[in-house]
Amino acid sequence: MFMEIKTNIGTFGSFRDIETCMRLEGLKNIEVISIKALMETWERLAGQYTYNEIKQIIDTKGVLE
C-alpha cells in the first residue's frame, strides 16, 4: 500500500519508519500533519503522538496496513 505520512520532522512511508526515526533520534513526541494512503487523506488522524503511541499503532494488527 502506498502511504505518505507528513510530520513536523519530515515525510515517511510508514509508521515503522517513524518509530525507527524517533528511536534513533531520541524523540519523545512527533506531530502528524497528514496521512495519505491510496490517494485518500485522513486529516482526522493528525495530531501529537508519543513514541509509545506510535509503537502501539505498529503493534495493532490491521491498522493502516
Q: What is the pLDDT of residue 59?
A: 83
Joined grid coordinates for residue 29: 513526541
Long-range contacts of 53-59 (CB under 8 A, 24+ apart): 54/15, 54/18, 54/19, 54/22, 54/30, 55/19, 57/15, 58/15, 58/16, 58/19
* pLDDT at 57 (0 to 100): 85
Q: What is the mean pLDDT of each run of 10 residues along the chain (65 residues)?
A: 87 93 96 86 84 88 55
pLDDT at position 24:
97
pLDDT at 37: 82
Provide the CA 34 distance to its chain's centre, in angstroms: 9
User: Is the model's pTM score more than 0.85?
Assistant: no
pLDDT value at residue 40? 78
